[in-house]
A and B are shown apart, each in its own frame.
Chain A
Amino acid sequence: MSIELATETAGGPGDTSPVPVRHRSHAVARLLRRPGAVLCLSWVVLVFVASCVFRLLDLGRPLEQKLIDSYQSPSGDHLLGTDMLGRDVLARLLYGGWETLAGAAVAVAIAIVLGTVLGLAAGYVGRAVDTVVNWLQDILITLPTILVLLAVATVLGNNVWAAMIVLGVLMSATFIRLVRASTLAVREELYVDAAKVAGLSTARILARHVLPNAMAPVLIQGSAALGAALVVQAGLGFLGLGAPPPVPSWGGMIAEAANAMSIQPWLLVPSGGMIILTVLALNLLGDYLRDELYASRTTSPEHARRRPARGPQQAPVGVPEAGPDALVAVRDLTVSFPVGDRLVPVVSGISFTVRRGEVVGLVGESGCGKTMTGLSLIGLVPEPGVVTGRMQVAGHAVDAGPRSFRGLRGTRIALISQEPMVALDPSFTVGSLLTEALRSHGRNRADARTRARELLELVGIPRIEDVLRSYPHQLSGGMAQRVAIALAISGDPELLIADEPTTALDVTVQAEILDLLRDLQQRLGMGLLLITHDLGVVADICTRVIVMYAGEIVEEAPVGQLFDQPRMPYTRALMASTPVLDVVQELHGIPGTVPLPAAWPDHCRFAARCDLVVDRCRSGPVPLEPVAVGHEVRCVRSAELALTPATVSLETPAVRRQPVGGR
């Protein structure tokens, strides 16, 4: 299996990474490697082929009556026993299978063709067609299938094929919806625009570019629809509307079994079993196909749980040698995720301390493990992540398990996330969210209401009463982030972790939110751990900086020292890629990207992208070593770098700009 632990937020093994549709030609091959899928496919093919053979060769035995042999239990002569007229049950099942299976296939074929044509038209041609097709689809969904088929039978009598054609039309509704959705999705894509510009005909664009995208969902749904059609078909047979006797139908055989229930209940088993197994096989095939075509998390039980990770069994609990003013102290913190059968670390053995009243910046590009570090401090690393190391939060030694964080979250340590618009529960008003948080911190109802208003005032929200009654989607991004901050400080935390709190916001709002954070930090005397990739922000409000690269701390220093004398080439590269207004400069992006966690080398992890790389860099792990008071660097050439001036020196306060590292 390929390793696809692409970003620091990837929460699971490779096959759950958020790649929408996988390569189709490989999907079939992968499908055939799964024993379950092969079993299902074999069953369906076996039943279908056997049915065809029985019907085409007209092995007349199923219709042959032998009254002496009636109601026999299964035996060597009759593997599944005999029915009331002494006919072999297995032979009848296979003989009748043809109508049942072929009928279902016809229905699904009609549904797919009709659904595809109408879905393409609705998604591609234009508003008017779309409206009509949508309306039609809603009507088809509204009609109860069985009743419509009974109505058709009232007029046409027992006609399996007519019933299946009508069933196909009714079932097309699902396919219309699927094809329309994927057509709409593809329509706006660049390559379709390009095809239009190139003057390809509509039909050709649809066939070459749009249709292939719609085929995956159609195939998955088609498998399930076959199963559904089989059940409907059996239901009709049961009601006496299957193929006219003496030709057997699966549903009709269940009806016969029902009549003979007190004499030979066994007969229920083969007839029902045949339908159940076949429908089950078809449904499972659909599920397997979905698994292979989509990187689906929800269908596979292995990746079911989304709770925060439990601590490892051997979680070494211990208080590191941290001073009395340490809010958070971690030693050898490692966060790993299972990929295949091994654990791949995304944060490897980092140690740091945040003290009371301190503002610490945690910087680095995306994929360096900043977010996972932050989440591990509050016990919210998603499953199946594994956290090890020693940790002390607000004077309490904690193991990595969520339980030990229970009394700490909100009151000792709090978190603000990146995207305020999705960080607030959409189904509750701001007022009820705040009140619930406050009540969980031990306030009574009236007290919580008053405090909620105070908090909103504290975070600078105007029209407090309106906002209290608003749902999160009614707020702007900046407002939502203020509410999220109010929520985070509702329990008077001693340490606030802010994970890129301004990245998702408009540039103009970013400065306001940062000012608010700095203001609150000073007023409430909190410690603040600011996770960011924007050195401008760091220069602005931090007192100390920790630079992370590829899961490791590569440099740590007081903010002035870091900007005056960066000793690690990565820190210098980050600075060179940060724009500063009052310095005329060239901007240098850092070439290359952060390597994926599974590809981290056991020597200097920045070596591959470093301008100053020498052989020594690749000879083994580089330790983090102190170079001055409070200044530690992980670089074999840090001593030489002390002599050369930094490319850019940042004046504080610098003006914040759009970061370069990217998210």
Chain B
Amino acid sequence: MRYLLTRLAYALPMLFGVSSLAFLLLNLLPNDIAQIKAGEDATPQRIAEIRAGLGLDRPVLERYWDWLSSVLRGDLGESWHNGQQVVDGILATAPVTLSMVVLSLLLSLLVGVPIGVVAAVRGGVLDRVLVSSAVVALAVPNFWLALLMVYVFALSLGIVPATGYVPLDVDPGQWVLHLVLPVIAVASVAVSAIARQTRSAMLENLDRDYVRTLRATGIGEWSVVYKHALKNAGVPILTTLGIQFVNLSGGSIIVEQVFAVPGLGQYTMTALARNDVPVVLGVLVVTAIAVVLINLVVDLLNSAVNPKVRA
């Protein structure tokens, strides 16, 4: 409990820092949004009108304060393009992205951890093959892998649809079919990252004195490896899950474009094309909040696995 509070006490200023940084980044960059929105040959009067309309004529600090206080009330402003509440836009698209990210994270754990364990425990040729594959997989951009899979499984074999999305509550079967390729593409890098992490954590632990003690005590090899060493190796693996979450979110933004999945990525890209700053800012802040929360959860999980953290 005390631990939870200290982590929370750390997370709150983080959120403040992240959102401030995001706002200032977008508002201090040396470029005139009003000019862009008005077009190349707009009259200065028109530009001034647009600027006043967006509230950009007020000082940055004043706007910052307004924005921050409304964010605290759960209001991320409204789109410059169509007046839609940014919160509503995010609520409509975030679940799609979130399900992709969570599924990819699960997939990368389910595949990456066993691969890492097998590589560490079995050694030899198998280890070398797995390690080399992981190194190659790390170098493949997820959107390229996505395209390759579209070509093979959708265009050539026709097993799965090439693009599009069907919500879970409309047709669960179609939902799965539409998400298979995107989720694999997003997870690919995380799988090899987690496999590498698991492998080195397992090797390190199997080399520790406590493993020798367990073996000397007569405890079975299966228990030594899969109960004791794996539990200890879990700590560094868990710690990187927060970072993996950030990477997977970024990955899914791009992969969504390949599959025309209507998630946060598409929402953001549309806003980007229209210079819709409040939308982009909103997405950025919400994602950062999600990351901070995930890190908090990871910390708690960590304290559950690792007795030293709890103490």
Contact = CB atoms under 8 A, between A and B. Distances in A.
B111 interface: no
B232 A154 contact: no
A425 B120 contact: no
B143 A436 contact: no
Chain A at the B interface: SS class: helix
A281 to B, nearest CB: 8
Nearest to B269: A239
Interface stretch (B43-51, B102-110, B173-181, B245-253): B245-253
Given A150-B269, A471-B308, A144 B139 contact: no
Interface in A470-506: 471, 473-474, 484, 487-488, 490-491
A139 B135 contact: no
Contact of B144 (A276, A423, A428, A474): A276
Given A157-B36, A283-B139, A427 B271 contact: no
Q: Which of B14, B200, B204, B209 has the most CB of A within 10 A?
A: B209
Interface in B223-271: 223, 228, 231-232, 243, 246, 249-251, 253-254, 257-258, 268-269, 271
Contacts of A346: none
A141 to B, nearest CB: 7
Nearest to B275: A154
Interface stretch (B19-27, B58-66, B69-77): B19-27
Interface string A231-267: 1001100110000000000010010011001100100
B55 to A, nearest CB: 16
Nearest to B248: A144
A148 interface: yes
B210 A425 contact: yes
Given A239-B254, A380-B215, A141 B272 contact: no
A304 B119 contact: yes
Contacts of B150: 261
A138 B249 CA distance: 17
B78 to A, nearest CB: 16
B139 A150 contact: no
B145 to A, nearest CB: 9
B217 A414 contact: yes
Given A417-B209, A417-B212, A258 B272 contact: no
B139 to A, nearest CB: 4
A261 B144 contact: no
Given A427-B232, A473-B307, A150 B151 contact: no
A307 interface: yes
Interface string A127-163: 0000000011011011111111011111111000010
A304 B203 contact: yes
Q: Which of B223, B287, B306 has the most CB of A within 10 A?
A: B287
A387 to B, nearest CB: 15
A490 B200 contact: no
B197 to A, nearest CB: 10
A122 to B, nearest CB: 16
A391 B199 CA distance: 35
Contacts of B208: 422
A473 B217 contact: no
A434 to B, nearest CB: 9
Contact of B215 (A308, A419, A422): A308
Interface string A364-395: 00000000000100101010000000000000
Contacts of A436: 219, 223
A437 B17 contact: no
Given A261-B155, A427-B305, A287 B253 contact: no
A467 to B, nearest CB: 14
A157 B35 CA distance: 12
A268 B277 contact: no
Contact of A239 (B31, B206, B257): B257
Contacts of B232: 425-427
A441 interface: yes
Given A154-B26, A235-B141, A235-B143, A141 B215 contact: no
Given A238-B257, A276-B139, A306-B207, A491 B217 contact: yes
A155 B33 contact: yes
B50 to A, nearest CB: 15
A301 B212 CA distance: 22
Q: How large is the interface on B (under 10, 10 to 19, 20 to 34, 35 or more residues)?
A: 35 or more
Contacts of A426: 210, 232, 307-308
B214 interface: yes
Interface stretch (B1-9, B87-95, B123-131): B123-131
Contacts of B200: 298-299
B18 interface: yes
Contacts of A425: 210, 213-214, 228, 232
A73 interface: no
A268 B144 contact: yes
A147 B250 contact: yes
B291 interface: yes
Nearest to A438: B217
Contacts of A152: 25-26, 29
A415 interface: yes
A271 B136 CA distance: 16
Contact of B284 (A143, A238, A422, A440): A143
Contacts of A239: 254, 257, 269
A555 to B, nearest CB: 28
A262 B215 contact: no
Interface in A158-177: 162, 166
B253 A275 contact: no
Contacts of A238: 141, 143, 254, 257
Contact of B216 (A254, A298, A409, A429): A409
Nearest to B140: A276
A139 B199 CA distance: 29
A448 interface: no
B22 A151 contact: yes
Given A146-B250, A423-B209, 10 more contacts: A145-B250, A147-B280, A152-B26, A257-B147, A262-B155, A265-B155, A301-B127, A305-B127, A415-B213, A473-B311
22 contacts: A139-B14, A142-B246, A142-B295, A154-B280, A227-B139, A234-B141, A268-B148, A272-B144, A279-B139, A304-B120, A380-B216, A406-B218, A410-B219, A415-B212, A415-B216, A417-B209, A424-B213, A425-B210, A427-B228, A427-B306, A437-B219, A441-B218
Interface of A: 11, 135-136, 138-139, 141-148, 150-157, 162, 166, 227, 231, 234-235, 238-239, 251, 254, 257-258, 261-262, 265, 268, 271-272, 275-277, 279-280, 283-284, 287, 297-299, 301, 304-308, 375, 378, 380, 382, 406, 409-411, 414-415, 417, 419, 422-429, 436-437, 440-441, 471, 473-474, 484, 487-488, 490-491
